[in-house]
Every structure is written in structure tokens, then in C-alpha cells.
């Protein structure tokens, strides 16, 4: 039994009852399925088939060390969004040549580190950043491998907070600027332009924006070939969405076929940077009901011990996550406003949910929380970061222990 399923009505992860893990480790608690993580990674990898490709898992979705290691063991490379993600990637075993470094604002210290490491590429977000990288490379006697991130002015039709490909978004270099930069790189000896990069957003559920971005990058690769630059690959970013609510999303096969169709004639290998589609479905957040009270004539509040501090997405984007009791009662469904314990009215995990009757101390599972869940957790209200557990082949282990108050205070002085 692989992934999250029910055995005689009780929710299990790779065969292990979530209630058993919660009993041992307490709540709130992230539980990941190693089998799901593997199958999500291998599914995309297989979808590209024989076409030359590398998956650079986007660490920002979830960079808990054990998960990063597991993905690396499957052959994944890495996409890092800060020098600290690069440090974690290195600890997980990724070589500099397996890491691309993205990020709309990289400090001088981060760029110095990135150039010194000799990363596969620094994905450059502005003419100024390219000049700073060049200066660092010249000063240190290195050649910096760079990709230029294009802002394609494409609407990813995702949530405005996670769309990155429109001109009004802060990401990337507009086309005309990119063309000017392409013309300059052949003469800039400290820079090696290895790729063109695009990433139009996250949780993209139609292929058109991804297809258009890929087509644009393929056309631009023709243009740079004409000025004598031989690219090594095309980096088409991440962004493939997952189904949080059961609605259809593009399959890995359809996704890969769409990208390969646009790029094949260039003969260049494809790099993609999937995050959510790999880690999202591999994790649930397990929480306990800690209070129940009437709300309206039709609904009750169910207060749980996880909220925006453990899973920010509902409060941040109005994101939907399926919620189910771990052991549902055999009662008619009723309507609950499932809320967190944090002192913010936006701390609502699920609105108007139809669930079988809940009682105090019941466990609920919040699905598809493996990406942008634990990674976005915070200490607001001095709430400790939750524990994380990985289930693999019927055994489970804590891959991140629950934070303690002493862990938090270890950074502080009061004298």
C-alpha cells in the first residue's frame, strides 16, 4: 500500500497508520511518503523519455535534508534560491555542477560564493547582476557560468502571488534587454552564457503558458546562435501544478511532451525545475482538534493545533487544501470552519468543509502539504516549528524533530 490511503477506514501513509505516528510524535506533524516522493520524481523523469533532460528539484518547495538526499539518490539535481539553500544542497550531497542558482535578489556575498563554487549556472535577473557577476569573476580569475532569466510577459493564469512571468512582476529581464545582453556576452571573457532561463509561475494548471514560454526560449536560442554563442541547455523552470481539489491537471507525460515539442528542433537538452509537483502530494500535515464551538446556525468552528504558522498557504493565497478526519466517524457530514490557533482572522485552514462529526482530540489530515508547507513555517506566536516524519517501506523516522522553546531562545540574549 503506497502513498496516502485508507485501511479499514483509517488513513495510512505507505501502510503505516497516521494515528500511530501522531501518538508517538505528537501534533502538529508533517508526514511524508517516500514512495510517493519517488514516484512523483520518477514520473516526470520518465515522461521526458529519451530526450536529453535534467530535473533540478526546486529546493524552496521543501529542502528538509532527508528529502533532498532522497531525491538526489534518484538522480535529481537542484535549483536553489539563496546561498543558504545552496549550503543545504551541498550538505545533501549535491555537487556545485548539479546546482542552478535562481533568485530575484542575490547579495554580493551570495554572488561571490556562487561564482567561487563554480555552479552549473547562476540564473541572472538583471543587467546589473550580470555586471556584478562579471566583476567578481574577473577579480577572482574565474569564468562564471550564467543563464539569463527572461521575463516573457506571459500570464501563467495562476494566483497573482505566484505568477512571475508578467512584465509587471519583479522577475527576470525583459526581452529587449536580454537581446542587448546576448550581443555583449561573446566579448565578455569572464562570462560563459550556458543557457536561457524562464519560469513563469507556480501551480500552473494549463499547458499553454508553459508551451509559449518554451517556444520563446527556443526562438531566443536561435538568436544567440547567430551571435556565436553555443548554449549547453535550455532551462524551462518549474511551475507544473497539482490537483489540490480533485480537478484535472496536466499529466507529467502531457507536460513533457509539450516542452519537448517546442524545443526538439534546437537539439538542446532541457532543464526543468519542478518543486510542487514532486513534493506537494508526498506530504500531509496531521493536526489535532483542540476546540469545537458553534459558529452559525449551519456550521461549527473546529479549532486545530496547526494553522498559518505550520501551513501558510491558505492564509497567504487563499489556497485550498483537502482536509479529512484520520478516522472518520460513521455520522452524517456537517459543516466546519477549520481554523488554526494563531491570533489572526486569516488563520483559517479550510472554509465550510463537510466532514463527519469531529470530537475533541480527533486527528485530521491536511493533504498535499509536502511543498511550501514545512518550508514556509514560522515561529509566530512563539509556536515551535513542527516535527517532520518520513515513512519508507513500512518504517518511519523523524527527519526533523519538533523545535523547543530552548531552540528558539538559543539565538537570543537578555542581558
Q: Just list the catalytic residues.
A: 343
Query: Which residues, numbered 267-286, are part of the site for ligand PLP (CB under 6 A)?
Result: 273-277
Cβ-proximal residues to 251 (8 Å cutoff; 6+ apart), any chain? 47
Task: Tell me the C-alpha to C-alpha distance, in Å, between residue 210 and each of 80, 255, 317, 411.
Answer: 21, 8, 22, 43
Our finding on whether 172 is near ligand PLP (CB under 6 A) is no
Our finding on whether 238 is near ligand PLP (CB under 6 A) is yes
Query: Which residues, numbered 48-67, are part of the site for ligand PLP (CB under 6 A)?
Result: 58, 60-61
Query: Which residues, numbered 138-167, are part of the site for ligand PLP (CB under 6 A)?
Result: none
Identify which of 414, 304, 413, 415 has the alpha carbon closest to the alpha carbon of residue 369: 304
Quote the least distance from Cβ 190 to ligand PLP, whole Å. Answer: 24
Our finding on whether 114 is near ligand PLP (CB under 6 A) is no
Phi-psi region of 246 (alpha: psi -120 to 50; beta: other; left: phi over 0): left
Number of residues counted as binding ligand PLP (CB under 6 A): 17
CA distance 184 to 213: 23
Residue with smaller CB distance to ligand PLP, 121 or 358:
121
Q: Quick one: cell of 249? A: 491537471
Is the Cα dihedral 4, 5, 7, 10 positive or negative? positive
CA distance 374 to 58: 14
Our finding on whether 27 is near ligand PLP (CB under 6 A) is no
Residue with smaller CB distance to ligand PLP, 255 or 396:
255
| Contacting residue, 54, 62, 202, 221, with ligand PLP by CB under 6 A | 202
Our finding on whether 307 is near ligand PLP (CB under 6 A) is no
Residue with smaller CB distance to ligand PLP, 202 or 221:
202
| Contacting residue, 38, 40, 72, 199, with ligand PLP by CB under 6 A | 199
CA distance 156 to 356: 37
The residue ranges that bind ligand PLP (CB under 6 A) are: 58, 60-61, 79, 102, 199, 202, 237-240, 273-277, 371
Amino acid at each position: 500500500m503506497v502513498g496516502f490511503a485508507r485501511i479499514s477506514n483509517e488513513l495510512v501513509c505507505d501502510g503505516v497508520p497516521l494515528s500511530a505516528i501522531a501518538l508517538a510524535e505528537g501534533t502538529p506533524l508533517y508526514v511524508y511518503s517516500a514512495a510517493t516522493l519517488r514516484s512523483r520524481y520518477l514520473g516526470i523523469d520518465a515522461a521526458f523519455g529519451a530526450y536529453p533532460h535534467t530535473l533540478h528539484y526546486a529546493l524552496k518547495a521543501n529542502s528538509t535534508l532527508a528529502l533532498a538526499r532522497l531525491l538526489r539518490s534518484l538522480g535529481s539535481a537542484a535549483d536553489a534560491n539563496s546561498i543558504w539553500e545552496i549550503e543545504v544542497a551541498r550538505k545533501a550531497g549535491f555537487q556545485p555542477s548539479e546546482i542552478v542558482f535562481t533568485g530575484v535578489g542575490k547579495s554580493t556575498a551570495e554572488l561571490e560564493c556562487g561564482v567561487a563554487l563554480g555552479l552549473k549556472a547562476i540564473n541572472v535577473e538583471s543587467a546589473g547582476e550580470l555586471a556584478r557577476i562579471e566583476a567578481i569573476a574577473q577579480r577572482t580569475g574565474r569564468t562564471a557560468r550564467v543563464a539569463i532569466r527572461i521575463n516573457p510577459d506571459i500570464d501563467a493564469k495562476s494566483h497573482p502571488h505566484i505568477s512571475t512571468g508578467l512584465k509587471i512582476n519583479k522577475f527576470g529581464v525583459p526581452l529587449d534587454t536580454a537581446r542587448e545582453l546576448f550581443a555583449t556576452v561573446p566579448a565578455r571573457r569572464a562570462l560563459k552564457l550556458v543557457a536561457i532561463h524562464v519560469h513563469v509561475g507556480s501551480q500552473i494548471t494549463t499547458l499553454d503558458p508553459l508551451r509559449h514560454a518554451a517556444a520563446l526560449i527556443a526562438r531566443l536560442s536561435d538568436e544567440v546562435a547567430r551571435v556565436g554563442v553555443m548554449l549547453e541547455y535550455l532551462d524551462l523552470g518549474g511551475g507544473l501544478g497539482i490537483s489540490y481539489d480533485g480537478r484535472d491537471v496536466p499529466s507529467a507525460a502531457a507536460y513533457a511532451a509539450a516542452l519537448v515539442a517546442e524545443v526538439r528542433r534546437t537539439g538542446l537538452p532541457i532543464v526543468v525545475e519542478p518543486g510542487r509537483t514532486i513534493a506537494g502530494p508526498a506530504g500531509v500535515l496531521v493536526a489535532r482538534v483542540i476546540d469545537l464551538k458553534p459558529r452559525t446556525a449551519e456550521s461549527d468552528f473546529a479549532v486545530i493545533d496547526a494553522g498559518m504558522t505550520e501551513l501558510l498557504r491558505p492564509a497567504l493565497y487563499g489556497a485550498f487544501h483537502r482536509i479529512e478526519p484520520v478516522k472518520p466517524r460513521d455520522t452524517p457530514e456537517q459543516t466546519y470552519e477549520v481554523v488554526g490557533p494563531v491570533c489572526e482572522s486569516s488563520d483559517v485552514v479550510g472554509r465550510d468543509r463537510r466532514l463527519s462529526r469531529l470530537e475533541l482530540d480527533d486527528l485530521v489530515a491536511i493533504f498535499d502539504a509536502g511543498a511550501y508547507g514545512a518550508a514556509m513555517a514560522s515561529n509566530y506566536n512563539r509556536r515551535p516549528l513542527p516535527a517532520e516524519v518520513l515513512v519508507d517501506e513500512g518504517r518511519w523516522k523523524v527527519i526533523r524533530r519538533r523545535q523547543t522553546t530552548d531552540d528558539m531562545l538559543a539565538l537570543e540574549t537578555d542581558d
